[in-house]
Amino acid sequence: MPLEPAIESGDRSHTLAPVESVAQISSMLLDTDPTLDPALAEAARTAAAEGVVLLTNDGTLPLGERSVAVFGRVQIDWFAVGYGSGGDVKVPYVWNLLAGLRDAGVRVDAELATHYSTWSAANRPVFADSWGQWPHHFPEMPLDESVVAAAASRADTAVVAIGRAAGEARDSILEAGSYYLTDDERMLLDTVTSHFARTVVVVDAGNVMDLSWVADYRDRIGAVLFAWQGGMEGARAVASVLAGESSPSGKLTDTIALSYEDYPSAPNFGHLDVNVYAEDVFVGYRYFETFAPDRVLFPFGHGLAYTNFELSTEADADAGTLRLEVVVTNTGDRAGKEVVQVYTGAPDGALGKPARHLAAFAKTRLLAPGESDTVRLEVHVDDLASYDDGGETGHRNAWVLEAGEYPVFVGADVRSAAEVAAFEVPETQVVREATEVAAPAHAFERLTLARAADGSAVAAREPVPTRTVSRAERVLGSLPAELPQTGDRGIDLAHVASGTASLDDFVAQLSDEELSLLARGDVTMDSPLGAPGNAGVLAGVSESLRAKGVPPVTTTDGPSGIRLSAYASLLPSGTALASTWNVPLIEELAALHSQEMLRKGSDVLLSPGMNIHRDPLCGRNFEYFSEDPVVTGRIAAAVVRGVQSTGLSACPKHFAANNQETNRTRNDSRVSERALREIYLRGFEICVREAAPRTIMTSYNQINGVWSHYHHDLATVILREEWGYEGVVITDWWIEDAVDPDFPALEDNAYRVRAQVDVLMPGGVKTDAAPQAYADTTILDSLAREDGLTRGELQRTARNVLGLAIALKPVVDARTLEG
C-alpha cells in the first residue's frame, strides 16, 4: 500500500492536544487485533472485481492455461488506493498483482518474477514526509531487451502493469509519470510488444490517465484492463479477472477522451484562485455526445465482458412514467453480468441541452450461457426537466420541461444505446418552482447549444445569469425564534429519546457556553473522548453536556476504510465501487463495513465522497464516483443506507463543487446556478432524498465567492428548505477566517452558525503558530453584540446536533458499557 508513514487527515498538518481533562471518561484501549472480517474482505474482493473495466480484448483474455510473463514494478508495488484521508487506513495486508496471479493459479514466469521482486525489495518507493508531495508513479526497473527476449522464450503471453496515484492536495499533472506515460514505460511497452504476440496491459490507477497510446499500439496490445484502485483485495480481484475466475462486468463512469485538451474543463482547471465552469452543464459525456463524439477513445458506460449479451426492450408509458422491461440474454459461451443503461434526449428548446443524459441503470445477476434476466426500470418525465436560471423559457428559477420530444435510449453504454421509446411534451411545463441560490456574482460566458444549417450541433456562448437576491434579506427573513432559557431542570437527553420530554425542553436548559460547545468539536483530532486515532469528536464534548446524557460522537475518515490507530479494512476506491454499477452490492458492502465501524468505535464515517469528476486531473477523483450525477447519487445512497443500517451515520462530502485540490482552501468555483443544480448538487439531492444521511460535510473551496462553510444558500435554502434535510452539517477540518459581509457583527464561527453549518471540526482554530489547539470565542463574542448572532440560531444548531446524538445514543451507550 503506497502510504508511508501515517498521514494527517484533511488539511491536517497539526498535532493537537486536548483542551480539557477527561479522566472521568473510561479510556479506550488501543485495538491491536489485525484480524479482519472474512465476509467484509470477500465482499470487498467481489466489488473490486466487478469494478474492473475491460476496455479492449481481442481474445487474449482470459489467460486460462497460458504461461505468463509479468512486467512492471507495479505488479509488486501495487497502488491499492489514492493518497490522503480517503485512503490512509491501517490495513494489515494488501494483495499485489504478482501474488494475486499466483493465487488464481496463473502460470507466472518465475525467473522474471524473481528479478522484479529482488529489484523492488532493494529499491523501495520513496515517500516525501510533507503533506501532498507523494509520488504519482514509481520509476520502472531498468530492463535489458535480452531479459524480455528470454522471458518470451519461456512464456507466450505478457502482462504489463502500469500504475498511477494522486490524492488529497495532490492533483494529477500534465507530465510524464502522472497523466502521461514515462519514456521508460513507453520503452517497456515497445520492447514487450515486439517480443510477445500477446500482450495485456493492466492500468492500476484511481484517476483517468492518457490512453491515447492504446490506439498507437493497435493490435500489438491484445487487451487493456483498467483496474481502478481496489483496496486490500483489489490486486487479487484483478488477477481473478485476468485468470477468468471472474468475468469482467465493470463499466466506465467517465469518458476517456483522445487527449486531455479534448475535455471541456481543460482550459479552466488548475488555476490557483478561480476556476470558471465555462462548460456549464456539458460535463463529460454530455459534452462529447453533443459536440465532439469523434474525440472519444472509450465512451461513458463502456466495458467489455468475456461473453456477449443481447438486449430486448418493451416500453409502457403511463401518467408521466415510462416503464421499461429489458430482457438481457447471454449469447456467448461464458457466464457474465451486464449493465442496462437508460439515457434520454431532449429538444433543444430555449435552454439548449445535452444530446443524452443518464436516467436509470441496473445490473443483471450472473447469467450462464443462454440464460436471460429481466431488468425493470422506470423513467419519470419530471426527472428530465432542466433548470432555467435566466428566464429563457419565461419561468426563471424553475425546473422546466420544454415542449417537444424526449427520446429514450437503452443499451450497454452511452454511445451504443438505441432508441426504444419517446415522451412527447405538447407544451412547456413547470415541474417545480424554486428560488435563486448561489448564483454567480461575477459575469462570465458559458457553453450553450446552437445549430448549424445542416442541423449539426455547434458550440456557442452566452452570458451567465448573475445574482439578484439579497442574502441579507433572505437570512433575516428566516431567523428562528429564541427559546427562553430555563436553566438545568434535570431533563436528560434520554428523556427526549423516550418521549417523556421534548427536545425544546432540553435545549432551553442549556447555557450559552453549552450551546457554543455543541457548535464545535472537541478541538483536537484524536480526541481522548473517542477511539484512538479518530478524526474528531462532537456533541458531548464537555462534562456538563455528558452529565445531561449527550454522548461524545466519534468521527473517522473514509471513504475507503476506517482511519483509526486500529487495524481496519481497506476497501475499493469510490471510482472502483461506482464502476460496478451494482447498487445492491455496494449497499451490502457498506452494511458489512458498518459492522466493522461498530467494532472499532466509529460513529460517523466521513464517507461517501460525492464530487463530480469534472476534470480527469482532480486528485481526489479516486474517492469520488463519476462525471455523472445520477451514478454519483445512486451509488452514494447505497453507501449511506448500508452504513446507517446498524444505527450509525454516514457523512457524504464535500458539499459542494470540490473539483480541484490545488489551492483547495482558497479556490473559487464560479459556476452557473443551472450547472450547480443539474450537475454538482444533483447527486447530493438524490442521496439526501433516497437515503437520508444523518451528517453532511462541507467543502474547503468557495462557490461563487462564498466559502461553503459560510454558504447559507447551500446549507439552509437548498439542503434544508428545498430538500428537507434534517441532519447535521459539519465543516471539513478547520475553516477560513472571514467576517460576514452582510452582518459585520458576525465572524468566523458565528458567521458559520448563521449559515446553519452546525459544527466546526475538529473544533479548534487553524493556525501553524499555536503550539496547542484552542477554541475561539467568536460565537459567544457575537452573541453578546448588538446585531450579532442570535440565541435562537445557536439553539437551532443545538437541535440539529442533538438530533444526531439521539439517533446514535443507543450505539454509543452500548459501546461505553462494553468498554
Q: How far apart are CA 802 and CA 496, in angstroms?
A: 10
Contact 537, 733 (CB under 8 A): no
The most distant pair of C-alpha atoms in the chain lies apart, rounded to whole Å, by: 86
**416: Cβ contacts below 8 Å, ≥ 6 apart:** 299
Helix (H) or strand (E) holding 544: helix 543-547
φ/ψ of 187, rounded to 5, equals: -65, -40
Burial bucket for residue 746 (CB in 10 Å: 0-12, 13-18, 19+)? buried
Q: How far apart are CA 265 and CA 59, in angstroms?
A: 36
Helix (H) or strand (E) holding 314: strand 309-318
Neighbours of 154 (CB within 10 A): 12
Contact 668, 701 (CB under 8 A): yes
**752: Cβ contacts below 8 Å, ≥ 6 apart:** 709, 710, 731, 735, 760
φ/ψ of 73, rounded to 5, equals: -65, -20
The C-alpha R_g of the chain, in whole angstroms, comes to 27
- What stretches of 142-233 show up as alpha helix (H) in DSSP? 145-154, 183-195, 212-217
Beta-strand runs (E) in 452-502: 457-463
Contact 624, 576 (CB under 8 A): no
Q: Is 624 helix (H, G, I), strand (E, B) or coil?
A: coil
Beta pairing partners, 728: 695
Q: Which three cell numbers stand for residue 656?
A: 459542494
Residue 120: what residue type?
A: S
Q: How far apart are CA 208 and CA 602, in angstroms?
A: 32
Neighbours of 348 (CB within 10 A): 14
Q: Which three cell numbers stand for residue 447?
A: 457553453
- Residues in the chain, total: 819
SS (H, E, C) 379-423: EEHHHHCEEECCCCCCCCCEEEECCEEEEEEEECCCCCCEEEEEE
> Active-site residue 333, yes or no?
no
Contact 211, 260 (CB under 8 A): no
**766: Cβ contacts below 8 Å, ≥ 6 apart:** 11, 14, 734, 735, 736
Q: Measured on CA atoms in the order 124, 129, 135, 139, is the torsion positive or negative?
A: negative
φ/ψ of 273, rounded to 5, equals: -100, -40
Contact 697, 608 (CB under 8 A): no
Catalytic residue, candidates 732, 740, 748, 758: 732
Contact 465, 671 (CB under 8 A): no
Q: How far apart are CA 260 and CA 694, in angstroms?
A: 38
Annotated catalytic residues are 732
